Chain A
Amino acid sequence: MHNEIHPFDGYKKLKKKHSIRFLFYLEEYVDLLKGKEKERLLTLGRLSLKNVYRFLRSRDKGKIVYGIHLIGIFHPEEQYKFLMINSNDMNMTLTAIREMHAVDDIHIKEQLIRILFKLPNISYIYISNLLVEMGSDIVPFLRQIIENRFTAPNEQMIAIETVRRLRNMDCLDLSEIILNRAQDPGVLSCWLRYLEDQKDSQQLDLIHPFIEHPNPQVRTAAIRVYLTLSDKLTAEDIVKIFNDSNIMVPINAAEIIEKSSTFPYLSTGSIEELKWKDIYKEILI
């Protein structure tokens, strides 16, 4: 469809009015219009919904997802009724859920989150992206997950990551619970990243023991947050950080020190160029 044609002129030119093609045509314009014009267009679209229901009743998975997509434009509240969970085709189910992420109903959103958590093999970050798009009103629900779902670390990780990316501070008070009770390295490192982003220096004492955590991912996250929030490093800490068996630990430490205005400048290259004693001297002198 041509962008220069006004939607209503285009409508007049369409041979088959109230067809699926017509709906696709309208879809291009709905978001471009505002106020009464948008309403008129949506009303015209609703006239062809019977075709959409034909899609939704189809046996073809692709057509069902199309149907869900189209009904979301004109009757978003009805989308959820047609969601089919197909364990043989996770991609299609996920695509259908994606189509619904903007639904304006917190209960449906919670249902969608529960379904997303049950889908196997979908990457956490992708689910978290979908959750971020759902908006901040899901935070109380995510908080419940962070606080209570220690038996499902994957859900906790996704919830923490989402809260972090929503830049929401409402969950910071859970630090003590998470850092004391969580055993999963993924959950711990996610929480430490959240603290790093929120720059909450109240938690330093809680974070410090994690600098020596056996898991390198947790160690890296703990060092990043510790160096971000504090400019106090003990000689023992420096020795441990720059002599860490996992290369990512000193790399991350050097990156933070490089950015820091309170520490003396230390280039990432120093990791290999200098021995730890030299690094120690450079930082403390």
Chain B
Amino acid sequence: MIKDILFTMIAVFNYVVLIYFTTLNIWYFVLNIIAYRGLKSYLVRLKLVSPNDKILMNSAPPVTLLTPAFNESQNCVKSIKSQLKIKYPDMRILFINDGSTDDTLAKMLTTFKMEPAFLPKVSKLETRDVKQIYQSQIYPKLWLIDKENGKKADALNVGINYCQTPLFCAIDNDSMLEEDSIARVVVPFIEDVRTIVSGGIIRIANGCEFENGHIQKVDLPKNIWARFQVMEYLRAFYGGRLAWDKLDASLIVSGAFGVFRHSIVVAAGGYLHETIGEDMELIVRLHKYCGDNHIPYKIRYLPDPIAWTEGPTTLKTLGKQRDRWQRGLLDSVMRHISILFRPKYKKVGMLAMPFYFIYEMIGPFIEVTGYIAFLLFLLTGNASTSFIVVFLLVSIVMGMCLSVFTLVLEEISFHRYPKFKHMVNLIFIAIIENLGYRQLNSWWRIKGTWSYMRKNQSWY
């Protein structure tokens, strides 16, 4: 009797999982179609209006690059040298040394011949104390703020306080921007006065060749985990963010590369200190702030401004990164849960937040328990052939199709992986990532959720 009830429960749950996978795939399919349409019109526009266009760049607003760094002795000089080569009419660089305990500060001061200088504080976000401000004697546009340690959000807030330009670009110290990335990413600000945030695509730098911080040759990483991430990033940026941008409901602009309107970020209170996912939290808060104050706004994502970043190469570090991302996501959604299903916040409240809530927060639990239930169903001989076929189709084969579709989007648009073998490799990755890697990701996200529930705020 109990056995029968148990089997019935498993069977019912299996059908729930089936419905979950089906709706998830339909969602992704719709998002991919929207992304395709968006990409098509963007490419037409790009052919007619290049980012170096005279008319656009005549009015290029000044931008400050905010680069927070903590113990980045190995990367800091390379990273700043790469930023100095960015082609943009009016750009300043603000390197924020967040109380590093290694020789980051000494390296910066000597390499760029930095001397104490004065920079007026233009906003008053609450931060840890600033010790000293320096300006480079070789590159006058390069500034350094030495401050007490207070984590990334605090360092960014210090940068915002001393940012003298109407726009600022938050980037990670290990991100390498392409020469025209800033020129491309500020276009929405020039064209549309409502734009408050604009973000670009992040691509995996592993395997690529760089010279003086600039990409020379694009190649796929040798490391299998980094290869999975190439596919993952392509799918997230092409299939996901591009579509959400077209729907005017972007909830994430990567912390590794995003340009913000200074005034609105200050008005909304800057980055939040006590969160692990400060980038997503800020975007959700900006949606809320603009919605509450009836400010017309646009948060944009563009597929062609590129920042290259090194992805984790070991299972352990990758797992920790995903754990952190999940905690950040949960924190951002839970802090602003009041947006959920509120028509006042338009598509963000009615579409994007419910999507993230159901598929990104609860989804991993349904997926992992679903696989377990399916195995139980299979092992006990209760699963019919048609059920097995449908389950595998919606849980795995559809995922493969969506990944391959993302590759099609990459091929018809920017085609950054030039060789035929790159495409063959990526198609192979698109297929095999659904047979283990995706499930592993779900497991890391469950772990992340568990850590979040235990109020773990650590970076690692």
Q: Which residues of A contact B (CB under 8 A)?
A: 61-62, 65-66, 69, 89-92, 94-95, 98-99, 101, 121-126, 128-130, 132-133, 247-248, 251, 267-269, 271-273
Contact = CB atoms under 8 A, between A and B. Distances in A.
Nearest to A125: B59
Given A121-B194, A123-B192, A129 B44 contact: no
Interface stretch (B118-126, B221-229, B278-286, B426-434): B118-126
5 contacts: A123-B192, A123-B193, A128-B59, A248-B122, A267-B118
Contact of A65 (B48, B118, B122): B48
Contacts of B47: 66
Contacts of B194: 121
B41 A126 contact: no
Contacts of A129: 55-56, 58-59
B192 A65 contact: no
Contact of B191 (A61, A65, A122): A122
Contact of A251 (B54, B59, B120): B120
A269 B117 contact: yes
Given A126-B190, A129-B56, A66 B120 contact: no
B45 interface: yes
B189 A95 contact: no
Interface residues of A, dominant DSSP: helix
Interface string B104-134: 0000000000000110111000000000000
Given A62-B40, A247-B121, A273-B118, A122 B49 contact: no
B48 A69 contact: yes
Interface in B50-87: 54-56, 58-59, 61
Contacts of A62: 40-41, 44-45
Contact of A98 (B41, B55, B59, B121): B55
Given A129-B59, A132-B58, A94 B191 contact: yes
Nearest to A69: B48
Given A129-B58, A129-B59, A247-B122, A61 B41 contact: yes
A224 to B, nearest CB: 15
Among A66, A90, A92, A123, find the residue whose CB has the most chain B CB atoms closer than 10 A.
A123
Contact of B192 (A122, A133, A269): A122
Interface residues of B, number: 25
* Residue from the set B41, B54, B194 with the largest chain A CB neighbour count within 10 Å: B41
A170 to B, nearest CB: 21
Contacts of A128: 59
B118 A272 contact: yes
A121 B195 CA distance: 9
B59 A271 contact: no
Contacts of B40: 62
A251 B121 CA distance: 10
Contacts of A130: 55
From B45, B54, B117, B194, residue with most partner A Cβ within 10 Å:
B45
B417 to A, nearest CB: 24
Given A94-B191, A122-B193, A130-B55, A66 B117 contact: no
Contacts of A248: 122
A109 B40 CA distance: 30
A69 B50 CA distance: 14
B320 to A, nearest CB: 41
B120 A95 contact: no
B59 A268 contact: no
A126 B55 CA distance: 7
Nearest to A165: B58
Contacts of B55: 98, 101, 126, 129-130, 133
Contacts of B48: 65-66, 69, 95, 98-99
Contacts of B118: 267-269, 271-273
Contacts of B191: 91, 94, 122-123, 126
Contacts of A126: 55-56, 59, 190-191
Contacts of A95: 45, 48-49
Given A121-B194, A123-B191, 9 more contacts: A66-B44, A66-B47, A91-B45, A121-B296, A123-B189, A126-B191, A129-B56, A267-B118, A271-B118
B120 A271 contact: yes
Nearest to A131: B55
B158 to A, nearest CB: 16
Contacts of A94: 191
A137 B296 CA distance: 35
A123 B190 contact: yes
Q: Give the one of A62, A128, A268 with max B CB within 10 A.
A: A62
When A and B form their complex, which 6 residue pairs have the shortest distance between CB atoms, in order from nearest? A269-B118, A62-B44, A125-B59, A129-B58, A123-B193, A129-B55
A83 B45 CA distance: 16
Contacts of A89: 41
Contact of B190 (A92, A125, A251, A269): A125
Contacts of A99: 48
A61 B37 CA distance: 12
A272 B44 contact: no
A98 B189 contact: no
Nearest to B298: A121
